[in-house]
């Protein structure tokens, strides 16, 4: 199938590589054209504009930074919706508020095209291996069209309801993960004076009823950072996590809810960003909080 992808950051690039690996023909577009070069060398066609990308593709996937980026890429003069897209399918994978997806779907449907919101859980490694968890929002007909493609990216794919439902569930599943980075830092603060080796400490945390599943994979990296080492390649950076938490808070406010744990967690991530850690992986957060607490 001819698939176009708009937004080839770390996740977008991994998704392109995965889709080419399973036999699809890919076209790509990115605001910063230099990010498309490795994909072009791997066999993807590079579109000059989003409009050109949509014209060349049967299915168009977008994975963009935020609502403003979505608006620019879809609705600009040379945007994805600027030409004839009747009969095409749009799969919007960005982590945004449900209302953003709903408003966009109305414009896409008005052009005679299909639409699902399908944000995913997971980072670059699972994306490259086709082991993400996907959350679809859309009509039964549009979801059925999107499913064969998304199942090649996801080890589990859930159709959560109408358009916007995928975004709602994605924000929900991200929330406890964000909080755990903070909780891990607080936990370390209570026992770092004992002098337990960080590798051993993370192994203990992972083996308790309070240890989340991801700690089994990321615990060694957290231990390395606690010992003064480097987290290595960034899978999901602190600034992106800050964006997601601000999105959660905005959605909660819209629904008359409060998220006090996310507010506190965001404060720590904001402090880490101010300290220059914004582009670095969020596995730095427990050490940042524990060391900051020790100095205060």
Report the catalytic residues.
170
Using DSSP, state whether 109 is helix, strand or coil.
helix
d(Cα 34, Cα 272) in Å, to the nearest integer? 28
> Where are the alpha helices (H) located in 31-132, listed in sequence order?
37-41, 50-55, 67-75, 98-110, 124-129
The DSSP 8-state label assigned to residue 237 in this structure reads B
Candidates 173, 170, 165, 132; CA nearest to 151 is 132
Sequence-ordered alpha helix ranges (H) in the chain? 10-21, 37-41, 50-55, 67-75, 98-110, 124-129, 140-150, 165-191, 198-206, 215-226, 238-254, 260-272, 285-295
Give the residue from 230, 234, 167, 214 showing the smallest Cα distance to 10: 234
| Euclidean distance between CA atoms 287 and 187, whole angstroms | 11
Using a 10 angstrom Cβ sphere, with 0-12 exposed, 13-18 middle and 19 or more buried, the burial of residue 22 is exposed
Distance of CA 65 to the CA centre of its chain: 9
270 forms beta bridges with none
């Amino acid at each position: 199938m001819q698939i176009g992808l708009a937004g080839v950051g770390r996740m977008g690039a991994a998704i392109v590589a995965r889709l080419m690996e399973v036999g699809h023909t890919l076209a790509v577009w990115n605001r910063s054209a230099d990010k498309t070069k490795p994909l072009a060398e791997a066999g993807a066609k590079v579109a000059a504009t989003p409009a050109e990308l949509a014209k060349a593709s049967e299915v168009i996937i977008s994975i963009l930074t935020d609502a403003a980026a979505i608006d620019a890429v879809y609705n600009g003069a040379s945007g994805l919706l600027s030409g004839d897209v009747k009969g095409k399918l749009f799969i919007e994978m960005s982590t945004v508020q449900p209302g953003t997806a709903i408003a966009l779907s109305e414009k896409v449907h008005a052009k005679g095209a299909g639409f699902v919101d399908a944000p995913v859980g997971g980072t670059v490694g699972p994306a490259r291996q086709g082991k993400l968890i996907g959350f679809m929002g859309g009509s039964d007909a549009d979801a059925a069209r999107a499913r064969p493609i998304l199942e090649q990216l996801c080890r589990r794919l859930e159709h959560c309801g109408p358009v916007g439902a995928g975004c709602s569930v994605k924000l929900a599943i991200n929330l406890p993960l964000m909080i755990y980075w903070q909780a891990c830092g607080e936990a370390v603060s209570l026992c770092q004076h004992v002098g337990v080796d960080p590798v051993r400490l993370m192994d203990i945390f992972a083996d308790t009823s309070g240890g989340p599943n991801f700690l089994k994979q990321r615990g060694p990296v957290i231990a390395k950072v606690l010992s003064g080492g480097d987290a290595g390649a960034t899978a999901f950076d602190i600034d992106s996590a800050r964006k997601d938490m601000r999105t959660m808070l905005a959605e909660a406010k819209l629904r008359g809810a409060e998220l006090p744990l996310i507010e506190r967690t965001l404060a720590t991530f904001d402090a880490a960003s101010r300290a220059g850690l914004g582009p670095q992986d969020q596995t730095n957060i427990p050490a940042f909080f524990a060391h900051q607490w020790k100095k205060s």
